[in-house]
């Protein structure tokens, strides 16, 4: 532990009204949602005991607080709704503004997949130890394999001066929202109706009827979260593609690009 903290801990006299301090601490930590809970708490309790702040603000360079921080874009929506089509068009229009993080996975590489490019191919033990060390922003188990996005891989994209696009499911978005990475911009893309989505999946001709049925049933579950205002900053309807793209682009230009390369 940091010497400064040990030094502070030795000098704390337990105040009389501990209950009200704990109440105040709980209220403030929920309201402020500090990025580093440990440092924030140490500062809070030192302040309560009249001790010097062990971690004064602005002492360290913090990626999220520098001018270089470009909010990642978290895009969510049922399979077949048109997320990839929207992102592809955006990346064509702004070729050097966006990037994807490289995920970790325990699944075996397929032919032509390159380690560190398509995925970081990792064994189960390593990935579990990284999960335990809270190195992942989000993770999921799919068909017996673990997949995860590390903070490090997202920060590499941010440090490269790009907006990191995270195409994830509802659970992934929930984990990202609970993580220390912020701000992020979350967009839910919804179909005009479940029937439209089914039609779109069928005309994409990439899925069997069984898979289409599964995707449609998952879509209903995913859409039950779309009005959660804590989770999604924006909900857009992919009805007419050009109209939807222009709404999507407007969100990106106003919420993401002004903080990065457009100014």
Ligand X SMILES: Nc1ncnc2c1ncn2[C@@H]1O[C@H](COP(=O)(O)OP(=O)(O)OP(=O)(O)O)[C@@H](O)[C@H]1O
Judged by beta carbon, residue 43 or residue 103, the one nearer ligand X is 103
Nearer to ligand X, 42 or 87 (CB): 87
124 token code pair:
């189960």
Q: Is residue 110 annotated as part of the catalytic site, yes or no?
A: yes
Phi-psi region of 77 (alpha: psi -120 to 50; beta: other; left: phi over 0): left
Q: Are 252 and 90 in contact (CB under 8 A)?
A: yes
What's the min distance (Å) between Cβ of 91 and ligand X? 13
Measured from the CB of residue 37, what is the shortest distance to ligand X in angstroms?
34
Q: Is 190 a catalytic residue?
A: no
Find out whether 81 and 188 touch, Cβ atoms under 8 Å.
no
Which structure tokens are listed for 95? 């070729």
Active-site choice (107, 110, 159, 162): 110
Q: For the CB of residue 98, give the shortest distance to ligand X in the complex, in Å.
A: 15
Looking at the Cβ atoms of 54 and 191, the one nearer to ligand X is 191
Known catalytic residue at 243: no
Q: How far lies 79's CA from each of 7, 139, 194, 202, 249, in Å? A: 54, 18, 11, 12, 20
Burial class (CB in 10 A: 0-12, 13-18, 19+), 48: middle
The residue (of 148 and 222) whose beta carbon lies closer to ligand X is: 222
Q: Measured from the CB of residue 263, what is the shortest distance to ligand X in angstroms? A: 30
Token match 């490289």: residue?
A: 102
109/126 Cα distance (integer angstroms):
16
Binding residues vs ligand X (CB under 6 A): 77, 79-85, 200, 204, 238, 240-241, 244
Q: Which of 159, 178, 202, 204 is catalytic?
A: 204
The catalytic residues are 110, 204, 215
């Amino acid at each position: 532990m940091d010497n400064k903290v040990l030094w502070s801990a030795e000098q704390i006299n337990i105040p009389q009204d501990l209950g009200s301090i704990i109440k105040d601490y709980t209220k403030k930590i929920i309201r402020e949602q500090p990025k580093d809970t440990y440092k924030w708490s140490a500062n809070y309790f030192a302040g309560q005991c009249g001790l010097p702040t062990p971690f004064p603000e602005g002492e360290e360079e913090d990626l999220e607080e520098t001018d270089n921080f470009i909010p990642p874009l978290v895009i969510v929506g049922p399979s077949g709704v048109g997320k990839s089509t929207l992102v592809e068009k955006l990346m064509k229009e702004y070729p050097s503004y966006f990037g994807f993080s490289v995920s970790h996975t325990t699944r075996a590489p397929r032919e032509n997949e390159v380690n560190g490019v398509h995925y970081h191919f990792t064994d189960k033990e390593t990935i579990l130890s990284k999960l335990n060390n809270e190195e992942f922003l989000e993770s999921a188990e799919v068909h017996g394999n673990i997949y995860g996005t590390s903070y490090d891989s997202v920060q590499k994209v941010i440090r490269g001066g790009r907006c990191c696009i995270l195409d994830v499911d509802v659970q992934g978005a929930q984990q990202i929202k609970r993580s220390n990475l912020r701000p992020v911009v979350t967009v839910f893309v919804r179909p005009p109706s479940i029937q439209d989505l089914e039609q779109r999946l069928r005309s994409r001709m990439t899925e069997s009827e069984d898979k289409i049925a599964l995707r449609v049933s998952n879509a209903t579950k995913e859409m039950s979260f779309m009005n959660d205002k804590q989770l999604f900053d924006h909900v857009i309807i992919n009805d007419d593609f050009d109209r939807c793209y222009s709404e999507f682009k407007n969100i990106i230009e106003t919420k993401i690009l002004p903080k990065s390369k457009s100014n």
